[in-house]
Amino acid sequence: MQLADKKIILGITGGIAAYKAAELVRLLTQQGAQVQVVMTQAATQFITPVTMQALSGNPVFTDQWDARVSNNMAHINLSREADAIVVAPASADFLAKVAHGLADDLLSTLCLARNCPLLVAPAMNREMWDNVATQRNVAQCRADRVVILGPVSGDQACGEVGMGRMLEAADLVQDLIAYFTPKVLKDRRVLITAGPTYEPIDPVRGITNSSSGKMGFAIARAAAEAGARVTLIAGPTALPTPRQVRRVDVQTAQQMMDEVLGYVNRAEIFIAVAAVADWRVENTSAQKIKKTATVDATLKLVQNPDILATVAGLANPPYCVGFAAESQNLETYVQEKRRAKNVPMMVGNLAQTALGSDHNELLICDDKAVTPLPRASKDELARQLVTLIAKRIG
Ligand code: C5P
């Protein structure tokens, strides 16, 4: 729950993307946020206040002259209690109002009267977005420290294709979480490997390691939320790319090594989470090996390069963090690996509790301390690890 105790005012303006606001409320409340919905009159044409009340668990405000508010100052009361106002979707008209300080309905008035951050997610037809007036208003909003989330390019409800689609609800929630996260790695360049590698035998067969990639992706996300510039070198996995992360997909250990060496010079921190295959097949077959060709088959395996040890051995290495999956004697084996690979920090986890799960527990061994991180979600552990790394590099 990354938004626990956060009070969010969700403003909804008139646009077809208003239907995404329903999903947004659900995701925000799942993250622990308390959501108070304020809708413009136009928004109520697209989605009903009843829907938004049911999802948020709070009565919806649509009117400046709401008799439920005893002092009749909903515009003041609401924003004073909020940690942020998020307007999604934000129409071209609404952006124009904010840019000019207009206050002719409840939502625009409370934005003008706010003493908390304002984040807006524009949604409109591509011509409306490209219009010089809208671009002028967006630039003015930015100059006034309004945070603009999106929009993105894609199919539009009107049938056209272009810039102006509202960000998906899940992306907005990630951006909001990032907004509230302390920037302990601000502008640090972080390089991360994640997932398994896949070593082909022939065009249809291969050997690989068991690894979902979840831990590495969670660390990439936590580092990006903490303000880092993250490059993620990922083996085969179906996981979505975390927001604001540059992802490079690879298959084999050698490809992972090549990409890591291509990026490592600019990295200040290298976190090797990938379960790299220790061996690859010496002679891969360009054609599918026929089962009939031979009854038994023998594979000759050769060792893959150790990416982490190679990076740690560079003349001017980044701060290196390794991961070790063991099935027993965690601390002893982790410390042995830390010394063998000559890295300042090695993170141990038990394969039997970690593999494929959304939860894990970690043992962080470095030259300063042995720090156990008790069982929690991989997202939560990733945040704790990022905080510790930030402390160590100072
Ligand atoms: O030796 P072991 O494979 O257990 O070490 C695990 C650590 O080393 C992980 O951080 C993993 O990403 C890294 N590693 C690597 N290249 C390899 C094997 C492991 O970078 N070929």
Pocket probe mutation, ligand 1, options 308, 334, 345, 350, max atoms within 8 Å of Cβ: 308
Catalytic residue among 111, 116, 141, 158: 158
Q: Are residues 105 and 233 in the same domain?
A: no
Ligand 1 touching residue 379 (CB < 6 A): no
Q: Is residue 80 part of a domain?
A: yes
Give the residue whose CA is nearest to atom 5 of ligand 1. 324
Q: Are residues 194 and 123 in the same domain?
A: no
In this prediction, residue 351 carries a pLDDT of 81
Q: Are residues 176 and 222 in the same domain?
A: no
In this prediction, residue 75 carries a pLDDT of 72
pLDDT, tens digit, 9 for 90 and up, residues 358-368:
999 999 999 88
Q: Are residues 229 and 373 in the same domain?
A: yes
The CATH number of the domain holding residue 91 is 3.40.50.1950
Ligand 1 touching residue 337 (CB < 6 A): yes
Assign residue 154 a region (left: φ > 0; alpha: ψ between -120 and 50; beta: otherwise): left
In this prediction, residue 278 carries a pLDDT of 95
Domain boundary (159, 180, 201) is at 180
Q: Is residue 16 part of a domain?
A: yes
Give the residue whose CA is nearest to atom 2 of ligand 1. 324
Q: Decide if 100 contacts 22 (C-beta within 8 A).
A: no
Q: Is residue 2 part of a domain?
A: no
pLDDT, tens digit, 9 for 90 and up, residues 270-314:
999 999 999 999 999 999 988 876 668 889 999 999 999 999 999
Ligand 1 touching residue 195 (CB < 6 A): no
CA of 211 to the centre of ligand 1 (A): 13
Q: Which atom of ligand 1 is nearest to the CA of 274?
A: 12
Q: Which atom of ligand 1 is nearest to the CA of 253?
A: 21
Q: Does pLDDT of 170 surpass 80?
A: yes
- Picking from 299, 339, 343, the residue whose alpha carbon sits closest to that of residue 321 is 343
> What is the rounded average pLDDT of the residues 217-240?
98
CA of 61 to the centre of ligand 1 (A): 55
Q: Are residues 222 and 370 in the same domain?
A: yes
Ligand 1 touching residue 334 (CB < 6 A): no
pLDDT, tens digit, 9 for 90 and up, residues 99-142:
999 999 999 999 999 999 999 999 999 999 999 999 999 999 99
In this prediction, residue 156 carries a pLDDT of 86
Q: Are residues 165 and 200 in the same domain?
A: no
For 275, the domain range is 189-393
Q: Is residue 39 part of a domain?
A: yes
Q: Is residue 145 part of a domain?
A: yes
Q: Are residues 232 and 127 in the same domain?
A: no
Q: Are residues 316 and 363 in the same domain?
A: yes
Give dist(CA 254, CA 123) in Å, integer.
43
Q: Are residues 252 and 302 in the same domain?
A: yes
The CATH number of the domain holding residue 211 is 3.40.50.10300
Q: Which atom of ligand 1 is nearest to the CA of 322?
A: 10
CA of 242 to the centre of ligand 1 (A): 23
Q: Is residue 1 part of a domain?
A: no
Domain boundary (180, 208, 234) is at 180
> What is the rounded average pLDDT of the residues 194-208?
97
Give the total number of structural domains in the chain.
2
Q: Is residue 11 part of a domain?
A: yes
Q: Are residues 143 and 260 in the same domain?
A: no
Domain boundary (119, 151, 180) is at 180
Q: Is 111 a catalytic residue?
A: no
- Mean pLDDT (the chain, rounded): 94
CA of 254 to the centre of ligand 1 (A): 13
Q: Are residues 245 and 216 in the same domain?
A: yes
Ligand 1 touching residue 193 (CB < 6 A): yes
In this prediction, residue 72 carries a pLDDT of 74
pTM over 0.95: no
In this prediction, residue 346 carries a pLDDT of 97
Q: Are residues 171 and 215 in the same domain?
A: no
151: cis peptide before it, omega within 30°? yes
Pocket probe mutation, ligand 1, options 193, 232, 276, 278, max atoms within 8 Å of Cβ: 276
Q: Is residue 134 part of a domain?
A: yes
pLDDT band at 84; cut points 50, 70, 90: very high
